[in-house]
Structure 1
Amino acid sequence: MLTMANIIISPSKYVQGKGELSNFGSYADALGSKLFCIVSPSGLKRVKAPIEQGLAGSDCEIVYEEFNGECSKSEINRLIGLMEQRGCDAVVGVGGGKILDTAKAVAYYKKTPVAVVPTIASTDAPCSALSVLYTDDGVFDEYLFLPANPNLVLLDTELISKAPARLLVSGMGDALATYFEAQAVADSGAGTCAGGQVTNAALALARLCYETLLSDGLQAKLAVERKVCTKAVENIVEANTYLSGIGFESGGLSGAHAIHNGFTVLTQCHHLYHGEKVAFGTLTQLVLQNAPLEQIEEVLSFCMSVGLPTTLADLGIAEVKEEEIMAVAQAATAEGESIHNMPFPVTADQVYAAILGADAIGTHYKSINE
């Protein structure tokens, strides 16, 4: 039997800095001559001036199109039609995850370059070769795996630091899982989203992601609450976006994200951001693999310091019902879920016990720290 190759993938260029959107023109010429920019109405108000300032003196022209709100097949097809009408030869997505995923999908079908410009740092999706498709009503449809990562990922940290602090913290929750999931995949020899096995480079980036969260997470949260961009904010934006992006895609997913997917079956959790559920999924994964208590305490302490969930009550589950937690566990262990990349077989009963175990530890540490 042939063994899988070790593979790492990444965007062609990653640019991050304060006011960097006003330098957009210096990167745009490599993309195309007429850019099709997908953006929300509110986003356009914030980014139009710096983008056009950045394009001054460039040979690039840009046209804007408002995003309809869902990364759906019908929205992608609508945008492809408009892009063709306007004779554009490259795509730019400016905004949050659904806009960025839509831009990547449009560029894939049109076989053009794509630039991704996140205005928040709430997930590790911008760097990935993946679009998550939904129905027009917002129900998950399918994953669209792309043959290449974005040509350009550009983050203006001045813009990102003005977004609500909860979004940055949610990004930290998503990033928190990166190292533990990648290490589990490396231990099991399972495949990654990049189509191979974990490289040492991806594992090192995942480890650096975790260390950056511990060293700069709280400082970054406090700075963003004041709408300022400090060095800690810069470090956390890079951890949330690039380190976690390369770490999850080329390092692999395992327990935490599968447990997150399980919690989506409960309506009580629908108000939470992706990274908030992933953070509790990380604690549950650590309990599932019987990680050393010092490791669990370190993760708990971090979560409590920045305001990530550490108990079921924090997730909005005021009354713990056995059948509901078992439904979460069964969804997390469904066939094809990433939890089967753990270095040991995992059953729904084990996940059920780990969820309640994580809740018990989180509740205990909250009580002694109040």
Structure 2
Amino acid sequence: MIRQAVLQYIHEENALDQLKEVIGNRSAVLIHGRQAYEAAAFALPALPRLLFEGHCTDQQVEVFKQACAPHDVILALGGGSVIDTAKQVAYQLQLPIIVIPTIVSNCAPWTPLSVMYNEEGQYIRFDTFPVVIEALLLDHRIIAASPYDYFVAGLVDTLAKWYEARVLSGSSAEDPVIETALRTAERCKELILSTAVTQERFRAYPVDIQYLVETVIPLAGSIGGFGDAATRGAVGHAVHNALSPHPETHAFLHGSKVGYGLLIQEKMLGHDAAYKELRDYLIVHEQPTSLADFGLQAAVAEALAVRTEKEELCQLMRPVVTSERLLEAIVRNETRVPASS
């Protein structure tokens, strides 16, 4: 199944100047994060606003459904949790949605799915649906001023598209649609690993940084849209989900936890060159590479391996992933090896 959710994609210097035209004469309501609104208020028209705080939960969705029901279109302003919540609301109300990211942390602005958590921030499931994102607006002024650490985590989350897709489907596929997804994932990886990234360059927002933003949002989102289960998450995202019961990990960004999970995946599969390449990148960009980096003791390794094995994402892999193999990889990954110069 192919699911591509965005009808109109606008990535321009003053993209939000087109928002009134996109909304037209319809009644619109804005779901937003607190910091997101502060970052974008200068370019937004006057609209009724609903503040989002916390996690994307079923309880949040019900509250926002009641508030959004009288309107014709929903606007989502912020990061992944805001956008995932708004997509759920839009789908359940059968309303169109306009997405305005204020950070570059993952492909949530593009994908027809929402990752659901409980009130404590623990992952419970992800829902896919035929939601149509009517427009996605990336404004250079907002993105270039957004938190740099979110951008780095977004790059790591995008690297996962290749590492996980090639585990699920191999390095190439006869199916031309899956092959398109694989080649897109590989190209994203090449761009990310070959482009110099610093906070100063991100703030300047040159063309090559703009291209990296494209890898995180439209391209990464399209990979799963084309490949579906054949190119979605594997061990990297399964480990991310399995980490969620540990409060110590809640302060870490999604992509940062996925990056650690990728190390476990590559170590488990014996992909030594890919493991080293990935680990070197994570260390250079100050991303967590061990349980200790998350503030966790080695004693949690066994329970983490058991939870990871039970994740639905691991059930897609062949041969079957076992907690024994995962535990061995987790323990071996804790042995520090200096990054290459």
TM-score, with structure 2 as normaliser: 0.88
Deviations 1:183-207 (A, max 9, x none): 11113999xxxxx996222112111
Correspondence list, 1:1-370, <5 A:
7=2, 9-29=4-24, 33-52=26-45, 62-84=47-69, 87-187=70-170, 199-216=178-195, 218-224=196-202, 227-249=203-225, 250=227, 251-291=231-271, 293-317=272-296, 319-321=297-299, 324-334=300-310, 336-360=311-335, 363-366=336-339
Deviations 1:191-225 (A, max 9, x none): xxxxx996222112111211121122x4254423x
**What's the offset of the Cα at 1:33?**
1.3
Secondary structure of 1:9's partner? coil
Distance 2:177 2:242 in 1: 25
**What's the offset of the Cα at 1:82?**
2.5
- Structure 1 residue ranges without an equivalent (≥5): 1-5, 53-60, 191-195
Secondary structure of 2:149's partner? helix
Q: Is the 8 A contact 2:99 2:109 kept in 1?
A: yes
**What's the offset of the Cα at 1:36?**
1.3
Change over 3 Å in CA distance of 1:285–1:102 after alignment to 2: same
**Aligned letter for 2:324?**
D
Q: Is the 8 A contact 1:258 1:339 kept in 2?
A: yes
Change over 3 Å in CA distance of 1:209–1:283 after alignment to 2: same
Change over 3 Å in CA distance of 1:82–1:158 after alignment to 2: same
- Structure 2 residue ranges without an equivalent (≥5): none
**Aligned letter for 1:269?**
T
**Aligned letter for 1:73?**
D
Aligned length: 336
Q: Is the 8 A contact 1:116 1:152 kept in 2?
A: yes
**Aligned letter for 1:24?**
L
Distance 2:250 2:58 in 1: 23
TM-score, with structure 1 as normaliser: 0.82
**Aligned letter for 1:328?**
L
